[in-house]
Structure 1
Amino acid sequence: MIPLLRQRCPLFLRSTIIRIPPTTVYVSNTSNKNSYSLPRTLFNIIPKPFHPYVRLSRIDKPTGSWVIFLPGAWSIALAGTTLTNLSLIGLFGIGTILMRGAGCTINDLWDKEYDRRVERTKSRPIASGEITIRQGLIWAGVQLSLSFLILIQLNFPTIGIGICSLLPLIIYPIMKRYTNWPQFFLGITLNWSALMGFTAATGAVYPSVIIPLYFAGIAWTLHYDTIYAHQDKRDDLIIGVKSTALLLGENTKLWLRAFSIGMITHLITVGLSVDQTWPYYIGLMGVGYHLHRQIETVNLNDNQSCWNTFVSNRMTGLMIFVCILIGNFCK
């Protein structure tokens, strides 16, 4: 059977099959009960040789994809609710999964030595040795290539902006070694679709819309990823990795309020730029209250509480999306 598979499978898949225990279905050994948000049947549907690649691309953890996808969806929706724009949102959704997967793969290639020393990440496929460096590089290339095929279906200004996203995607993982604000650089990376969506829908670059929207997304990332980083603060302190969680310490909640205010302020600016209607602004009040409740209820010294609060930011993003749609309807 194995010789037959070697003849039929691509090179990177052949080596993967050899390395994976044939009866293994991954089970997290961390204390985080909600590490995997998709049903375990996902691993029953996908062939076992691909299980490590699913985990490497974080397909089994969809919250990360949501918080990357939603700024792009906001951006497209701000240009108007049309059938064409809805199809663009679909393309952005597929692109999000691919680019997030590529980013996670690149991140794990950079961080393999650190990941082996952190409880939450030591079972990641590259850190644990299930996937080799060579296989990881090939997998990153596959995902980037598929992402490019989606990108070239968009207009030229959007293609140019999209190509520029490769630089922050590649350099972000090393920022935690050199700066106490890696979450800021993560925000620069994850919210790139906010620059692309409105441009893809309109065919032109409107800085008065996309720049404040981009800043709103960065502030949002600072909010949720600072909370997320509190899960690893003990390990990060030991191994020398930097984060806003360690930098802000006991003052974290004060800073979270500042990030939230910055996010809402920039979203108001965006609304004024596109002549949004009153339901949009009323909705932003609800978003602000939702962020307030997150800050009030999260226990930054409890990993499960931090994880649950991070996951709840999917609702934050969806609320903003609905605000935009209702505002458009009332124009």
Structure 2
Amino acid sequence: MTTSPPDALPDTEHERLARSGFLRPYILLARLDRPIGWWLLFWPCAWGVALAGGAFARFDLILYMLLGAVAMRGAGCVYNDIVDRDLDAQVERTRGRPLASGAVSLKAAWAWLLILCAIGFIVLLQLPLLAAEVALVSLVFVAAYPFMKRITWWPQAWLGIVFSWGALVGWAAVARELSLPMALLYLGTISWVIGYDTIYALQDREDDALIGIRSSALRLGRYVRLGVAGFYLLALILWSWAIWLIRPEPLAFVALAPAALQLGWQVATLRPDDGADALYKFRSNRFAGLLVFLACATVGTGAS
């Protein structure tokens, strides 16, 4: 396997980036052209706010968290690409990324990372003290994430810890306390992230196996659909429990029914050997996130 696009190609990714203007490589480096990532980072933040009763009363907070999700997801992508630049050059799907292809220098990538973190810091200043403290703790896990694929078969679980953290921040920002419903919401979200990121990892199974990158998709093997189903089911159980503690009525289960149907559709129709289908199912989780938000908003508003 070559580590860069063949020289014989007249129009490499590097050349296209170089001709596309100064800002384009930085947009690609932070994945600002791919909103699915910041949607998936944002939704748990919105769930925490909504379940604590702030879906409508604190809409300003939700907007700040959306801005923070865009900036910090971008920062995370830049940091991940800095750490993984040599590995990315060996994987077909990622070899054209700005750092791996050489379209952005390492020094410029660090500068771009600092700019994105500065935007995140501005958002952090809008949060109550408890929520800001909770948010800062996440940086430890964010910093360690890119290395997990080298040492564990379950980097998706570590991603779950990171991408679910917003549920803790959103809850703390409204409730001004840490409690069991918040913890259950967070744990359920981790399970959801493991499920959808396992689907995402199906795209890279062959390349990952060749260069020694570990993933839950490889670990689960031919049981990957069953594994994803199990993680989604666990997520629904934990979310239902959290909602029941807020509002102990049958609505706790009815509110999550649309989300359960969407996740069930993903599993039932998943084709593990079809990378395009895996990407489509992965991206559909932005809609699943909206459905869970509506459930949290319904329950949180009714109980507040």
What's the TM-score, normalizing by structure 2?
A: 0.91
Q: Give the whole-Å Cα distance in 2 for the aligned partners of 1:168 and 1:295.
A: 29
- Residue type of the alignment partner of 1:297: T
Residue of structure 2 equivalent to 1:164: 137
Residue of structure 2 equivalent to 1:24: 19
Q: Give the whole-Å Cα distance in 2 for the aligned partners of 1:200 and 1:179.
A: 33
Residue of structure 2 equivalent to 1:243: 215
- Residue type of the alignment partner of 2:46: A
The Cα of 1:142 is off from its aligned counterpart by 1.2
Matched, 1:68 2:26: no
- Pick from 244, 254, 257 the counterpart of residue 229 of structure 2: 257
Contact 2:55/2:297 (<8 A) preserved? no
CA displacement 1:137-171 (0-9 Å, x = unmatched): 11111111221111022111111111111111111
Matched, 1:49 2:22: yes
The Cα of 1:193 is off from its aligned counterpart by 0.5
Residue of structure 2 equivalent to 1:148: 121
Contact 1:278/1:327 (<8 A) preserved? no
Contact 1:184/1:222 (<8 A) preserved? yes
Q: Give the whole-Å Cα distance in 1 for the aligned partners of 2:217 and 2:256.
A: 26
- Pick from 138, 149, 154 the counterpart of residue 176 of structure 1: 149
Secondary structure of 1:102 counterpart: helix
- Residue type of the alignment partner of 1:183: Q
CA pair 188-82 structure 1, distance change in 2 beyond 3 A: closer
Matches within 5 A, 1:240-319: 240-275=212-247, 277-319=249-291
Give structure 2 stretches of 5+ with no counterpart.
1-13
Residue of structure 2 equivalent to 1:106: 79
RMSD value over aligned CA atoms? 1.7
Percent of pairs with identical residues:
33
Q: Give the whole-Å Cα distance in 2 for the aligned partners of 1:22 and 1:236.
A: 26
224-233 or 152-161: bigger deviation: 152-161
- Residue type of the alignment partner of 1:195: L
Secondary structure of 2:22 counterpart: helix
Secondary structure of 2:34 counterpart: coil
The Cα of 1:279 is off from its aligned counterpart by 3.6
Q: Give the whole-Å Cα distance in 2 for the aligned partners of 1:93 and 1:109.
A: 24
CA pair 141-276 structure 1, distance change in 2 beyond 3 A: farther
- Residue type of the alignment partner of 1:213: L
CA displacement 1:284-323 (0-9 Å, x = unmatched): 1222222111111111111100000001111111111112
Matched, 1:211 2:183: yes
The Cα of 1:20 is off from its aligned counterpart by 7.9
85-94 or 145-154: bigger deviation: 145-154
- Residue type of the alignment partner of 1:87: D
Secondary structure of 2:281 counterpart: helix
CA pair 234-323 structure 1, distance change in 2 beyond 3 A: same
Contact 1:231/1:303 (<8 A) preserved? yes
The Cα of 1:83 is off from its aligned counterpart by 4.6
Secondary structure of 1:111 counterpart: helix
Q: Give the whole-Å Cα distance in 1 for the aligned partners of 2:128 and 2:253.
A: 31
Contact 1:20/1:49 (<8 A) preserved? no
Which structure is richer in relative contact order (CA contacts within 8 A, separation 6 or more)?
2
Secondary structure of 1:241 counterpart: coil
CA pair 281-294 structure 1, distance change in 2 beyond 3 A: same
Contact 2:17/2:103 (<8 A) preserved? no
